[in-house]
């Protein structure tokens, strides 16, 4: 704490010393090459005395420049104030220099006001303008920092809104599935309700989480797939093709469920024959690549017909979270079926969710 307080004073002292050395060298060379007698010791004493005396006035000038900045709103009155103050400070500095010359250095005579007044006034205005320049720069950097913080908060809020958009969508579809079984197979419907309860518990407990390890994202997906397998029974087969090195990779929370739901809804539910959905995860250089493939009819000619809440929200989430560092691709598979591919930076996740251990998940 003490070092931080002393730092500006030490820096100011060094700055005044450098300025005094500069003007001393200028004065010495001017005397030497103009045919005059250059007394280096006296020149050094005069210049160091002059600029160290300015050091007494600098804190006051800086305070005044910060208190009354020459800005657009009050520039006329503040400029007039600094003009009057600058004249007063210039006169005081001239008087102090003569006192220093006479009583400290013992030099006869005095420096005429006409020789130093302009330099003193110019020095005052340089200090004022330099103070305002530093003040403007600090405010600019603080504004940049605030803008960055607000942008980050806005992005987090938008991500949260996009993710929460999926919850009622998923809940509606799941309850609709349960309603079709409640009379046909009450036991299966009861199991689906239990699984749905656990899913909702986890999502509500982790509303503020935006990234989890892929392993935990897959655990959540398995809970959802339990419900869908119960609903479609033998008509749905899901295959997991997950490279082991990807399990610790950070993954946007709940990014796979809406894509798999979309594949089941359009690739499986629309036909009476059995269907397959494959979920893949692999590392491709610095990217984590996730794929969801179904063997249904594929994407229609107008992709918008299959680009509902799930895919559109997923695309928007990736754009908000990764900007240009992601890929989102939708297309048809040769031989039939649809493919959705996500790719975003691969990094090991440092966050996690509560492990879903309540109730074993059937495969």
Query: In angstroms, rounded to a whole number, what is the distance separating the alpha carbons of residues 259 and 275?
Result: 16
Q: What is the pLDDT at residue 214?
A: 95
Angle between helices 257-267 and 113-181 (to 10 degrees): 40
**Nearest CA-CA partner of 256 in 244, 269, 242, 270:** 242
Q: What is the pLDDT along the chain (363 residues), one digit of tens a residue?
A: 556 677 677 777 788 888 888 878 877 777 777 766 667 787 788 888 888 888 888 889 989 988 888 877 788 888 899 999 999 999 998 888 888 887 777 777 778 888 788 888 998 999 898 888 888 888 888 877 777 765 665 555 555 554 555 456 667 767 887 887 788 888 888 888 888 888 777 766 766 677 889 999 999 899 888 888 887 888 999 999 999 999 999 998 888 988 998 898 888 888 889 999 999 999 999 999 999 999 988 888 755 445 555 687 788 888 888 888 999 999 998 888 999 999 999 999 876 544 443 333 333
DSSP 257-297: HHHHHHHHHHHTTT-SS-EEEEEEEEEETTEEEEEEEE-SS
Cβ atoms of 312 and 150 closer than 8 Å: no
Q: Kindly compute the dihedral angle of the four CA atoms of residues 310, 315, 319, 320, in this order, to the nearest 10 degrees.
A: -10
Question: What is the residue extent of each domain of the chain?
Answer: 2-147, 182-345
234 vs 339: CA distance, rounded Å? 22
Give the DSSP letter string of 307-352. Answer: --HHHHHHHHHHHHHHTTS-EEEEEEPTTS-EEEEEEEE--B----
Say what the pLDDT of residue 208 is.
65
Sequential DSSP letters for 15-31: HHHHHHHHHHHHHHHHH
CATH code linked to domain 182-345? 3.30.565.10
Residues in the chain, total? 363
């Amino acid at each position: 704490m003490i070092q931080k307080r002393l730092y500006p004073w030490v820096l100011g002292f060094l700055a005044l010393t450098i300025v005094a050395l500069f003007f001393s060298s200028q004065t010495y060379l001017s005397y030497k090459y103009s045919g005059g007698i250059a007394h280096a010791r006296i020149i050094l004493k005069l210049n160091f005395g002059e600029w160290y005396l300015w050091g007494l006035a600098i804190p006051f000038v800086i305070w005044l420049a910060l208190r009354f900045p020459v800005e657009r709103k009050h520039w006329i009155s503040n400029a007039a104030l600094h003009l009057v103050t600058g004249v007063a400070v210039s006169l005081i500095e001239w008087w102090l220099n003569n006192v220093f010359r006479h009583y400290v250095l013992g030099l006869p005579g005095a420096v005429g006001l006409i020789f130093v007044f302009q330099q003193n006034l110019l020095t005052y205005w340089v200090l004022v303008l330099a103070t305002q320049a530093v003040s403007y720069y600090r405010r600019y950097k603080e504004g940049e920092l605030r803008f960055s913080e607000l942008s980050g908060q806005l992005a987090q809020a938008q991500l949260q809104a996009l993710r929460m958009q999926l919850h009622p969508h998923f809940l509606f579809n799941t309850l609709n599935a349960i309603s079709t079984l409640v009379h046909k197979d009450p036991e299966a419907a009861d199991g689906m309700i239990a699984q749905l309860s656990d899913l909702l518990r986890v999502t509500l407990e982790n509303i503020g989480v935006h990234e989890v390890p892929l392993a935990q994202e897959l655990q959540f997906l398995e809970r959802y797939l339990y419900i869908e397998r119960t609903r479609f029974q033998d008509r749905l087969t899901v295959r997991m093709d997950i490279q082991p090195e990807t399990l610790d990779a950070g993954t946007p929370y709940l990014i796979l469920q809406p894509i798999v739901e979309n594949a089941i809804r359009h690739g499986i539910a629309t036909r009476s024959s059995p269907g397959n959905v494959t979920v893949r995860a692999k590392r491709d250089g610095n990217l984590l690549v996730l794929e969801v493939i179904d063997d249904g009819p594929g994407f229609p000619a107008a992709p918008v017909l299959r680009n509902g809440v799930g895919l559109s929200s997923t695309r928007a989430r990736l754009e908000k979270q990764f900007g240009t560092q992601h890929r989102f691709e939708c297309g048809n598979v040769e031989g039939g079926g649809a493919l959705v591919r996500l790719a975003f930076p691969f990094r090991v996740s440092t966050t996690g969710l509560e492990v879903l251990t309540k109730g074993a998940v059937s495969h």
